[in-house]
Amino acid sequence: MMDEIKIQKTLQPKEKPQLSELGFGNYFTDHMFVMDYKEGRGWHSPRIIPYGPLELDPSVMVVHYGQATFEGLKAYKTKDHHVLLFRPHANMERMNISNERLCIPTLDVEFAVSAIRKLVEMEQDWIPEGENTSLYIRPFVFATDPHLGVRPSHTYSFMVILSPVGSYYPEGIDPVKIYVEDNYVRAVKGGLGYTKTPGNYAASIKAQEVAKERGYTQVLWLDGIEKKYIEEVGTMNVFFKVGGEVITPALEGSILAGITRDTTIKLLKHWGIPVQERRISIDEIYEAHAQGKLEEAFGTGTAAVISPIGELNYQGKIISINDGKTGEIATRIYDTITGIQTGVLEDPFNWTLKIK
């Protein structure tokens, strides 16, 4: 049985940022959730305390050996001032899948969701109400043993912090230019690719920087084995519409099982639009383009929801998709997901959790 969440309120509430200043991940609210794990004792001492610095030993294992996982989800305020979370259980279930791979103790999903709920409820005045804004929720777990030497830590912290955000990409829902990466590899089957762990993101930074220097917003990752099959776009899953059918790479262990990916697939099926999860080679996409059948391409992820792809560059061969404009399916999915998330549209799938 988990202890009750102890609450210590801040005595110095911060000033809230202007909507125009938000950006992504730059501001944090007044409080945070913390819970500790110790071998033999389990998860304990859940508490909401003022947002403030962690005191970590310089040998703290997370900094040296990267044993950590995280999640990302959002809270939205509806027009009638309710507060909605979007599929929070899916995030915490995925965190447990990540934790198992990283040898980190799993969490009680219901308790973790209730902790998120409690924290967001306390911080509801921080949920911004402008277009494309939300309160980004970052649950994360990390190894806290002060020890050098590679082994699983015996102690961990689980935390939740909140950040009022605008659009992840400054471009917003406008189509972006993507560089097809055939040198650097993000992950490979048998590795950590399907988990949300810091190392996957560390592995992605260099290619992203090289792409930016070349004038591209992000990279399209190919598989690490044959450098042939499409994996992800930046930190998002990727979808293509080819000849009336929507296709997306199957989950084979090297890519993240995105919750927006799953939401997108369920919506497409609900609408009767054919959708397939399977291996997709970059050659197939270029061939479809040559035949005039490549109708749309877009990324899906919690941070940006939908990010249309207007151009691909693979080994210097540049193709434009849907004349560089946002496609019909991408628009419909974006409008539907954000509509459900913000309570503007019906929620036939019970995806939202009303917490106030």
Q: Which residues bind its own copies (CB under 8 A)?
A: 24-26, 28, 32, 51-60, 62-68, 70, 72, 101-103, 136, 138, 140, 142, 146-152, 159, 161, 163, 168, 183-192, 197-206, 208-209, 224-225, 227, 234-235, 303
Give the shortest CB-212-to-its own copies separation in angstroms.
9
Question: Looking at beta carbons only, is 288 or 306 nearer to its own copies?
Answer: 306
SS3 323: helix
Give the shortest CB-303-to-its own copies separation in angstroms.
7
Give the shortest CB-81-to-its own copies separation in angstroms.
26
| Identity of the residue numbered 18 | Q
CA distance linking residue 147 with residue 62, whole number of Å? 10
**Vertex 213: Cα angle to 211 and 219 (nearest 5):** 10
Question: Looking at beta carbons only, is 72 or 249 nearer to its own copies?
Answer: 72
| Identity of the residue numbered 293 | K
Question: Looking at beta carbons only, is 81 or 206 nearer to its own copies?
Answer: 206
Question: Looking at beta carbons only, is 10 or 183 nearer to its own copies?
Answer: 183
SS3 101: helix
Tokens linked to 150? 């590679």
Residue-wise DSSP of 234-303:
TTBEEEEEETTEEEE----SSS---HHHHHHHHHHHHTT--EEE---BHHHHHHHHHTT-EEEEEEEETT
Question: Looking at beta carbons only, is 7 or 344 nearer to its own copies?
Answer: 7
| Other residues' Cβ atoms within 10 Å of the Cβ of residue 84 | 23
Give the shortest CB-37-to-its own copies separation in angstroms.
16
Give the shortest CB-66-to-its own copies separation in angstroms.
3
